Amino acid sequence: MINLWNRQLNATGIGVLIIAAVISCGMGGRPSPKNTPLSLKSLYSTYRIPSICGVAPDWDGQTVTIKGYLDLNNIFDKQRYPRLVYEKFKVLDRQGRSIEVWVDVADSRAVFSALSQKRNSQVVIRGRLAAVEMPIAGQCLLGAKVWINDSSQIQ
């Protein structure tokens, strides 16, 4: 009788462990993108960027916080380039990864003023991820860009 009870307990315990393991697989896989600034390496590996086109990524539209350095050769605002139909800048890491940050605000002067204060230091950007199709050598890869709409999203 005790031997039968031990078998049932062991089978139940193993079942509980398997269920707990399966449930926990979905938890904690991604770092908290809203609170912790991600390096570009972490951003790309966490969200598996780039990926193959054709499948809408689950991260499209999510708020994320990233950190990096301004690419001073890739800052495009309407104050300096009045004919542009867009405004954007590029954030880099020390290993050559980059991501474009697009600005969507009627008057972007405060955004680019905040950037000018970060010219030689690390910048932290909080914005919304957007999927971008990148046709490369006959294949389509899905990359990402970040949208911001206020200077407070730059630290």
Specify the pTM.
0.77
How does pLDDT run across 66-114, given as a tens digit for each residue?
A: 999 999 999 999 999 999 999 999 999 999 999 999 999 999 999 999 9
Nearest CA-CA partner of 45 in 113, 93, 117, 111? 93
> Which residues have a Cβ under 8 Å from the Cβ of 155 and sit 6 or more positions away?
123, 124, 125, 126
Q: Over 60: is that where the pLDDT of 13 sits?
A: no
- Cα 115 to Cα 60: distance, rounded to the nearest angstrom: 25
Q: Over 60: is that where the pLDDT of 17 sits?
A: no
Give pLDDT, residue 87.
Answer: 98
Give pLDDT, residue 120.
Answer: 87
- How would you classify the pairing of strands 98-103 and 139-148? parallel
> Which residues have a Cβ under 8 Å from the Cβ of 102 and sit 6 or more positions away?
86, 87, 88, 130, 145, 146, 147, 148
Q: Over 90: is that where the pLDDT of 27 sits?
A: no
